[in-house]
Amino acid sequence: MFQIDCPWCGPRDQSEFAYAGEGGIKRPEDPSALTDAEWADYLFMRQNPRGRHHEQWRHVHGCGQFFDVVRQTVTYRIESVDLPGRPALANASGEVR
């Protein structure tokens, strides 16, 4: 178990949160222009890195809000927490250390 620092509520136990998938995935501007392979990549393919991971979490038993987290999947250490879509997270996705 670990704590997550909700951008609204401050540090709370993980049991109050739900994981909400990889962060930073943009919906394609024009989905109908994509090949099946590109669409499948958007829908299904995820980084699943060993190391630094850009994630979304939801404070489901607190304020109910979705937010962005950068977390080390090896050590569980959370590097940063922010409101969705902040530029601070732009380079975080999928980098393996």
Partner 1 sequence: MSKIKLESPLIDQPEARTGNNGPTNAGVTLVERSFLGHIMLRGRSDDAAFLAACARVFGVEPPTAPNTYAEGNGAVIGWMGPTEWLFMVDSEARAAWLDALREALADVHAGVVDLSGGQTTIGLEGSHALDVLAKGSTLDLHPRVAGAGFCTRSLLAKSAMFLRVIETGHRFEIVVRRSFADYLWQWLVDASGEYGLRILPAESSLALAGLDVAAPRAAATA
Instruction: Please report, as ranges, the residues that interact with partner 1 according to CB under 8 A.
Output: 8-13, 15-16, 61-65
Task: Indicate the Cα dihedral angle 88, 64, 14, 86, nearest 10°.
Answer: 0
CB of 8 to Zn ion, least distance (A): 4
Task: State the binding string over 7-46 for Zn ion (x if CB under 5 A, else -).
Answer: -xx-------------------------------------
CA-nearest of 73, 80, 38, 97 to 89 is 80
Q: How far is the CB of 50 from partner 1 (least distance, A)?
A: 28
Residue 64: strand, helix, or coil = coil
Note whether 42 and 25 are within 8 A (CB).
yes
Q: Which residues bind Zn ion (CB under 5 A)?
A: 6, 8-9, 59, 62-63
